[in-house]
């Protein structure tokens, strides 16, 4: 199955760990399996400032850093346990379980999508805690 990606001028993407930048508008056809992230999906280390964001960053590294994948996977397990302890809703906990399932299968790209949901649940939990403290 072919994946078609359009990039705007200057837009970055990572393909198998290599950072690329489009020079002009580009349309790419990916014809085999690669670890691929568009620029808007990439998180910098300094942006990993909350438990869910650290989980996203570590999962992203497991996805794009094949040589360090086992270390990143170990870190993902610990981070996920920490994150589950702050969630009270069944919906958020089910998202954690779905993330864990996808990560265990090595489907890091889809796990990153679930992790974006976890960041939303985390923001709501932080808001709830701030309201309780007030």
Domain check: are 85 and 111 in the same one? yes
- For residue 82, the 8-state DSSP code is H
Find out whether 17 and 65 touch, Cβ atoms under 8 Å. yes
Domain check: are 60 and 31 in the same one? no
Q: How far apart are CA 29 and CA 38, in angstroms?
A: 14
Domain check: are 15 and 61 in the same one? no
Say what the pLDDT of residue 52 is: 94
More confident position, 127 or 9: 9
Q: Examine the pLDDT at 123 and tell me if it is beyond 70.
A: yes
Say what the pLDDT of residue 116 is: 96
Domain check: are 126 and 74 in the same one? yes
Domain check: are 123 and 64 in the same one? yes
Domain check: are 70 and 31 in the same one? no
Domain check: are 25 and 56 in the same one? no
Domain check: are 78 and 107 in the same one? yes
Q: Examine the pLDDT at 5 and tell me if it is beyond 70.
A: yes
Q: How many beta carbons lie within 10 A of that of residue 38, not counting itself? A: 13
Q: What is the mean pLDDT of the chain?
A: 90
Q: How far apart are CA 82 and CA 65, in angstroms?
A: 23
Neighbouring C-alpha atoms within 13 Å toward the C-beta of 99: 28
Q: Examine the pLDDT at 89 and tell me if it is beyond 80.
A: yes
Say what the pLDDT of residue 51 is: 92
SS3 assignment, position 21: strand
Find out whether 56 and 44 touch, Cβ atoms under 8 Å. no
Domain check: are 61 and 36 in the same one? no
Domain check: are 68 and 80 in the same one? yes
In this structure, of 9-18, 52-61, 98-107, the range with the lowest mean pLDDT score is 9-18
Say what the pLDDT of residue 134 is: 65
Residue 54 falls in which region: left (phi positive, over 0), alpha (psi -120 to 50) or beta: alpha
Domain check: are 22 and 75 in the same one? no
Domain check: are 118 and 58 in the same one? yes
Domain coverage including residue 115: 44-133
Rounded to a whole number of angstroms, the distance between the first and last alpha carbons of the chain is: 53
Q: How far apart are CA 92 and CA 52, in angstroms?
A: 12
Q: What is the pLDDT of residues 51-87, one digit of tens each?
A: 999 999 999 999 999 899 999 999 998 899 888 887 8
Domains of the chain: total? 2
């Amino acid at each position: 199955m072919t994946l078609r990606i359009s990039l705007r001028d200057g837009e970055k993407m990572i393909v198998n760990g290599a950072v690329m930048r489009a020079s002009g508008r580009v349309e790419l056809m990916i014809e085999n399996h690669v670890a691929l992230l568009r620029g808007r999906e990439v998180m910098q280390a300094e942006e990993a400032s909350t438990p869910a964001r650290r989980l996203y960053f570590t999962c992203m590294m497991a996805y794009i850093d094949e040589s360090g994948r086992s270390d990143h996977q170990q870190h993902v397990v610990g981070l996920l346990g920490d994150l589950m302890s702050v969630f009270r809703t069944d919906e958020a906990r089910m998202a954690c379980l779905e993330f864990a399932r996808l990560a265990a299968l090595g489907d890091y790209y889809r796990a990153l999508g679930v992790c974006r949901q976890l960041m939303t649940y985390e923001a709501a939990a932080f808001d709830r805690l701030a309201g309780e403290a007030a």
